[in-house]
Amino acid sequence: MFVHVQVLLGRFSGVVSAAAKSKGWEELAREVTAVSGIVRSGLEVQRKWVCMKSGAKAVAVERKKELKITGGGLCSGFNVSDSQQRVLSVIGKVAVEGVDGGFDSAASLLDGMYLNWLCIKL
């Protein structure tokens, strides 16, 4: 049985409901139990995924910081493990590094509000 990543990690919609997500995590838990022999609930597997994801992101961010410090040279102590690399490939580059050339829309909104306030004052 294959559980779709879009159901487990996707946003709620007409197709992706809380019930579908819960069912998906339970199905995945059964598959994990079949392979590992360790019985886990869907909620436990979901929490494990969250921990693995945040751990992989933290290592990737620290490694990126270290690369900036060394000017792109060798980076000591921040090797990404195979399992962390697999997690990063699932969540994608944008989840770790953000959007290339992106800007903070909240800051730009505040700047626009400040400019409007200045125009009103003048």
For residue range 106-121, list pLDDT tens digits in order: 555 455 444 444 444 4
* pLDDT of the residue at 117: 44
Phi, psi of 4 (to 5 degrees): -75, 135
For residue range 45-87, list pLDDT tens digits in order: 999 999 999 999 988 888 888 777 766 666 666 678 888 888 8
Which of 73, 3, 4, 7 is CA-nearest to residue 34?
Answer: 3
Q: What is the mean pLDDT of residues 2-29?
A: 85
* pLDDT of the residue at 116: 43
Query: Rounded to whole angstroms, how far apart are CA atoms 100 and 5?
Result: 24
* pLDDT of the residue at 27: 92
Write down the pTM of the prediction: 0.68
CA distances from residue 79 to 57, 85, 117 in whole angstroms, order as listed: 12, 10, 49
**Res 104 pLDDT > 60:** no
Which contacts (CB < 8 Å, 24+ apart) does range 83-88 have? 83/52, 83/56, 84/52, 84/55, 84/56, 84/59, 84/60, 85/56, 87/52, 87/53, 87/56, 88/56, 88/57, 88/60
Q: Could you tell me the two tokens for 105?
A: 């829309």
Domain boundaries, the chain: 5-121
